[in-house]
Amino acid sequence: MPAPKSCVQCGKCLEVCPLFKATGREELTPRAKFFLESICAGDDQGAGLSERDFKSLASLCLSCGRCEKNCPQHMSGPALVTDLRAKSKGFTQACWDLWLKNPGLLWPMAAVLSKFSPEILPEPFGSARKRMQALFSRSLEPWADLVPQAKFEERKVMLFKGCVGRYARKDWSIKAERLMDGMGLIRGEDADFSCCGSSYGSAGLLERRNNSRAKNIEVWKDAGRPLLVTFCATCLKGLREYSLADFAGDEELYESWQECLTPLSSLLLDAEVKLRENVPEQVAYHKPCHAPDDDTDQKLVGLIAAERMLPVQEGLCCGFGGIMQLGAPELSKEVGDYSLAQHTKCMKSGGQILSGCSACVIQLVSLVKDDYFAAHWLDILK
Amino acid sequence: MQNYPEQFSRTHKKFLQNLFPGRESSFDDGTLLACGVDASQRHAKPLALVRPQEIAQVVELLRWAHEERVPVYPRARATNKVGNCVPVRHGVVVSMLDMNEILDIDGRDFVAVTQPGVITADLQKAVEAQGLFYPPDPASMKISTIGGNISTCAGGMRAVKYGVTRDYVLGLEVILPGGEIIRTGGRTQKNVVGLDLTRLMVGSAGTLGLVTEATVKLLPLPETSASVLVGFKDLDGCLCGAEAVFGCGILPTAMELMDQNTIKALEIHSDVPWPAGTGGLLLLKIDGSAESVNTDLRRIEESLQAVAVTFVEKGSGADQERLWELRRVISPAAFNLASDKQGEDVAVPRGKVAKAIKGYHSIGTKLGLTVLCFGHLGDGNIHVSTMYNKSAGEQEKALEAKKKIFQLTLELGGTLSGEHGIGLTKAKYINMQLDKTQQRLMAGIKNAFDPLKIMNPGKVV
Ligand SMILES: Cc1cc2nc3c(=O)[nH]c(=O)nc-3n(C[C@H](O)[C@H](O)[C@H](O)COP(=O)(O)OP(=O)(O)OC[C@H]3O[C@@H](n4cnc5c(N)ncnc54)[C@H](O)[C@@H]3O)c2cc1C
Ligand code: SF4
Ligand code: SF4
């Protein structure tokens, strides 16, 4: 991506920003963020806008990255927000810090938290377990079997479970490993990977992000540079974003890292699909903001669901938005509700919304109406 | 200058909050600042932002604003480039974006009825799904609204063959200052009763009233289209190419030109298909039945044989969007040449285009600035962008260029603006084109609609 220049107020980002789409609030658009930034930095001393007000408005961003892709000037909302957060030591920031430091306890709380304002944040900590159960009580019955083809891969492989796979949905990790075994892949010893780092990054915790990256690279090198398999689009994106600097400028190592990152779904596109009787009538694929260009999760869901698959709607963001859960839970919910309304507009009762990103799944599961189901595609597999 | 309120009284604010409950009104600094800027990059801070959901609210708002002498600034996606959305006298910004329903698409009357906040491309998609066609296609069609397009009389690349927004507006519902509702025109294609208030409203940039509904004319959707991008060594080659195409009796849907400097900006910005050494480009589109498009394509190719070209690329169906995307990104890509841009969208009679472009280039050369010419060769509407660096103190020179460009344009029988209008940024040049009598008549019309000057004050249409 070429270096950003400056915002020319053309308004192209309004076409894609999910916050604007769901709320219609112009002050939340990337265009507004950059304008407010420019006048805060300018001669007229913010023209009546306090720094605090600017920061709280500008940091409302879901880090979906759409603005940057669509902007002729390559302006990036997430980069602005990361920068703001990196420089701010506000309350929300501290909460987020706490949350990420204790992923075992708190990650599954992401969606539930969105129902609380930061002021009463401590409450849900106490009843984490109870709420966790509530969040996953409506899990769906698997309806497909995948018989993967053997893969002749000499390299070792390892599963990068991500925070959710490690602490909250261990069943996803178990299924993923079983599929890997089914392909005859040689799985390395379970290793202690850290968070992929992307959540730290968007929260502005750059030091912690860099530490995570360093740790993961270390573990991967020690394991003999295995293929790293992921089942979460955001983890994959987070891992792909490691920069040459994270590898101390070692280009060969960097290239090898990039080449090792493998979405689990990409290994399953030639699998044999067997459907059970309880197969749903309709399936929608929720395309995560962080999905790679070649979205093999979408392909896999399409392969399994075949004619049951509804046309994929581009441009819908689940609204999870990391730190926004804490700072502006209502907004996060509003965006999520908007997405679900679009997904279920033409969907019959009992329809399922599948995705390949842990954060999307958590958000959608917590907001979806009783008539429908939301799940990771791993959930539909026996 | 007339006095407008600098602050709102508590009663004012209460009134607005009652009429626009909850999120429909905002008064916080961040929101107000954010709705006071547009693509001209000028800005001012209003006293309130309101977001009407229905006509009754607009009626009540304009009744109140008239009574209280509060300026009203209609706003849609704020993509206009001349500052037409900037609330220079504060007042209330009225965002029309929530009134965004398509009310009717009628294939027998060949009309669509729509609220103003609908995105133009969405309207187009909706009518195309029924085999119908709404031709006006400003480059901003995916990011601007039909209400904004009507209020600026937006024109696009298809203007050569199909005309501009004004040619498609059959009727309007407008709320006047004071709260009266008028319905101009209607669903008929012909209508000669009375003065043409519909056309008067089109392009009036929110200075006469607020448009709350529009009836637009539709055509049958052409069966297919195809595009051709042709490269030439230089501008002369390009213009010869254009002559050759017109000479073979074809009226293309669109005919766009890009000069050498535009090519340079695009080369930095995007992956481009043309070979090095290309100094001028023509981008053509034709549409019609599959047979006629094929025949036309062949004739175009034949006519171009007499001219030296550096490359030709054809596209049809969805594939041609690739070619058109290059045209759409010129505006932003221009910033690759310098940090600041002063864009003019002058228009000259078609036969004067060659003379005009050469003249604009030489104005740039004399002042030591890069001047980009691109745009609608087919209808004589040329975008002339003077690129400069404010930080290097080149602003003065840019302004001088602007004046000279305008002078030359008018000498050639052209107009200061073919698309974007006058607004704030070009207000002081209006005397160059309109004489006293014309301006007096226009002021009289404005006065008949808006005697207290509450609609978009501070702007020139
Ligand atoms: C990248 C880019 C490309 C562009 N390309 C073109 C082009 O090819 N051709 C072209 O003509 N223009 C072009 N424009 C300019 C701009 O897109 C047009 O002027 C467009 O019509 C503005 O629409 P909008 O919805 O953004 O309206 P706004 O900019 O929000 O409003 C425009 C004017 O209309 C008034 N207004 C808006 N809604 C109403 C209403 N309901 N009632 C009364 N007044 C109202 C506003 O007060 C303002 O004066 C381009 C702009 C950009 C940024
Ligand atoms: S952020 Fe980019 S797309 Fe959005 S208004 Fe600014 S320049 Fe245009
Ligand atoms: S990252 Fe997404 S939510 Fe944030 S400003 Fe950009 S488009 Fe909007």
The predicted pLDDT at position A104 comes to 44
- A259's enclosing H/E stretch is helix A251-260
Residues 6+ positions from B129 with CB-CB distance below 8 Å: none
pLDDT at B350 over 90: no
Q: Is the CB of B30 less than 8 angstroms away from the CB of A48? A: no
Question: Do residue B15 and residue B110 come from a single domain?
Answer: no
**Does B455 map to a domain?**
no
- Which residues, 6 or more positions from B125, have their beta carbon under 8 angstroms from its beta carbon? none
Q: For position A342, what pLDDT does the model report?
A: 94
B366 within domain boundaries: yes
Which has the minimum average pLDDT: A181-195, A346-360, B112-126, B426-440?
Answer: A181-195
Q: Could A10 and B143 be called an inter-chain contact, meaning their C-beta atoms sit closer than 8 Å?
A: yes
**pLDDT range class, residue A110, cuts 50, 70, 90:** very low
- Residue B450 in any domain: the answer is no
Q: Which ligand neighbours the alpha carbon of B86 most closely?
A: 1
Which pLDDT does position B329 carry in this prediction?
A: 84
Task: Judge if pTM exceeds 0.95.
Answer: no
Mean predicted confidence (pLDDT) in B361-381: 93
Same domain membership, residue B312 and residue B254: yes
Q: How many helices (H) and strands (E) does chain A have?
A: 20, 9
Considering the domain boundaries, does residue B297 fall inside one?
Answer: yes
B3 within domain boundaries: no
The answer to whether position B438 is within a domain reads: no
User: How many Å lie between the centroid of ligand 2 and the Cα of residue A35?
Assistant: 10
| pLDDT tens, position by position, B222-243 | 999 999 999 999 998 998 999 8
Residues B350 and B323 in one domain: no
Predicted pLDDT of residue A96: 57
Which structural domain range is residue B373 located in? 338-433
Q: What is the pLDDT of residue A138?
A: 56
**Separation CA B363–CA B242 (nearest Å):** 24
pLDDT value for B61: 98
Of B272, B307, B332, the position where a domain reaches its end is B332
The contacts of residue A142 (CB under 8 Å, 6+ apart) are A276, A379, A380, A381, A382
Q: Is residue A44 one of the residues assigned to a domain? A: yes
Query: Which residues span the domain enclosing A84?
Result: 12-88
In a domain, A78, yes or no: yes
Q: With respect to residue B176, please indicate whether it lies within any of the assigned structural domains.
A: yes
Q: Could you write out the DSSP letters of every residue in B340-373?
A: EEEEEB-B--GGGHHHHHHHHHHHHHHHT-EEEE
Residue A64 lies in a domain: yes
Chain A residues in contact with B47 (beta carbon < 8 A): none
End-of-domain residue from the set B95, B116, B133: B95
- Look at residue B403 and tell me whether its pLDDT is greater than 70: yes
User: End of a domain among A88, A122, A151?
Assistant: A88
Does residue B72 carry a pLDDT above 70? yes
Is there a contact between A11 and B144 if contact means CB atoms under 8 Å apart?
yes
Q: Average pLDDT over chain A, rounded to whole?
A: 83
The answer on pLDDT for B2 being more than 70 is yes
pLDDT at A349: 92
The predicted structure's pLDDT at residue A327: 65
Whether B26 has its CB under 8 Å from any CB of chain A: the answer is yes
Please give the residue of chain A at the shortest CA–CA distance from B81.
Answer: A10
Q: Do A25 and B31 touch (CB under 8 A)?
A: yes
Please check whether residues B213 and B227 belong to one and the same domain. no
Q: What is the pLDDT of residues A284-326, one digit of tens each?
A: 999 999 999 999 999 999 999 999 999 999 889 998 876 666 6
User: A11, B77: Cβ pair inside 8 Å?
Assistant: yes
Same domain, B355 and B272: no
Q: How confident is the model at residue A220 (pLDDT cuts 50, 70, 90)?
A: very high
Contact B83, B459 (CB under 8 A): yes
pLDDT average, residue stretch B297-320: 89
* Percent of chain A's residues with pLDDT above 70: 82
B chain contacts of residue A73, beta-carbon cutoff 8 Å: 332, 335
- Ligand 3 probe mutation, A20, A25, A67, A289, most atoms within 8 A of CB: A67
On the question of pLDDT at A2 being above 70, the answer is no
Residue to probe by mutation, ligand 1, list B144, B169, B455, most atoms within 8 Å of CB? B144
Residues B316 and B346 in one domain: no
Residues of chain B neighbouring A57 (CB-CB closer than 8 A):
30-31
- Which of B95, B111, B137 is the last residue in one of the domains? B95
A&B contacts, CB < 8 Å: 82
B233 and B169 within one domain: no
Helix A51-58 with A77-87: angle, nearest 10 deg: 130
pLDDT of residue A88: 67
Overall average pLDDT of the A73-82 stretch: 88
Mutate to test the interface with B, among A6, A20, A25, A39 (most CBs of B within 10 A): A25
Residue located via tokens 């637009």: B216
Average pLDDT over residues B43-57: 97
B381 lines ligand 1 (CB under 6 A): no
A347 domain-assigned: yes
Note the ipTM here: 0.89
Answer yes or no: is the C-beta of B96 below 6 A from any ligand 1 atom.
yes
Long-range contacts of B15-21 (CB under 8 A, 24+ apart): B15/B64, B16/B48, B16/B50, B16/B92, B19/B50, B19/B57, B19/B60, B19/B61, B19/B64, B20/B50, B20/B51, B20/B52, B20/B57
CA–CA separation, B348 vs B417, rounded Å?
10
Is the residue at B244 inside a domain?
yes
pLDDT grade, residue A122 (50/70/90)?
Answer: very low
**Residues B25 and B116 occupy one common structural domain:** no
* Over residues B24-41, mean pLDDT: 95
> Which ligand 2 atom sits nearest the alpha carbon of residue A6?
7
- Out of B30, B35, B335, whose CB is closest to A57? B30
Q: Stretch B381-389: mean pLDDT, rounded? A: 94
Q: B128-165, pLDDT tens digit by residue?
A: 999 999 999 998 999 999 999 999 999 998 999 999 99
Nearest CA in chain B to A51: B30
* Mean of the per-residue pLDDT values of chain B: 94
Q: Which residues of A touch B29 (CB under 8 A)?
A: 48-50, 53
**Is A129 a domain residue?**
no
A71 lines ligand 2 (CB under 6 A): yes
Q: How far apart are CA A133 and CA A101, in angstroms?
A: 22
Which position has the higher pLDDT, B166 or A78? B166
Q: For atom 33 of ligand 1, which residue has the closest CA?
A: B205
Distances (CA, A) of B25 to B14, B44, B284, B398, B434: 11, 18, 46, 40, 39
Q: Please check whether residues B227 and B321 belong to one and the same domain.
A: yes
Return the pLDDT at A370: 84
Number of domain units in chain B: 4
What's the gap in Å between B172 CA and the centre of ligand 2? Answer: 32
- The yes-or-no verdict on residue A113 having pLDDT over 60 is no
Domain end (from A67, A88, A109): A88
In chain A, the number of structural domains is 2
Q: Is B32 in the pocket of ligand 1 (CB under 6 A)?
A: no
The pLDDT tens digits for B163-193 are 999 999 999 999 999 999 999 999 999 999 9
pLDDT for position A173: 92
Q: What is the pLDDT of residues B193-226, one digit of tens each?
A: 999 999 999 999 999 999 999 999 999 999 999 9
Burial grade of B12 (CB within 10 A; 0-12, 13-18, 19 or more):
middle
Partner-chain contact B37 A26, CB within 8 Å: no
For residue A149, being part of any structural domain is answered with: no
Is A203 a member of any domain? Answer: no
Residues of B in contact with A334 (CB under 8 A): none
CA distance B174 to A290: 44
pLDDT tops 50 at residue A121:
no
The predicted structure's pLDDT at residue A107: 46
Furthest-apart CA atoms within chain A: distance in Å: 68
pLDDT of residue A123: 37
What is residue B146's predicted lDDT score, i.e. its pLDDT? Answer: 98
Domain at B119, CATH number? 3.30.465.10
pLDDT tens per residue, range A239-269: 999 999 999 999 999 999 999 999 999 999 9
Among the listed ranges A199-208, A342-351, B123-132, B147-156, which one has the minimum average pLDDT value?
Answer: A199-208
* Residue A208 domain-assigned (yes or no): no
Percent of chain B with pLDDT over 70: 100
pLDDT attached to residue A125: 40
Higher-pLDDT residue of B96, B375: B96
- Same domain (yes/no): B359, B393: yes
Please indicate, yes or no, whether residues B73 and B115 belong to a single structural domain of this protein: no
Residue A78 CB less than 6 A away from ligand 3: yes
Instruction: Tell whether B114 and B205 lie within a shared domain.
Output: yes
Q: With 80 as the cut, is the pLDDT of residue A61 above it? A: yes
Domain end residue (candidates: A47, A70, A88): A88
Contact call for residues B306 and B243 (beta carbons, < 8 A): no
Which A residues in the span 7-36 are in contact with B, Cβ-Cβ below 8 Å?
8-12, 14-15, 24-27, 29, 31-32, 35-36
Give the residue-averaged pLDDT of A314-340: 82
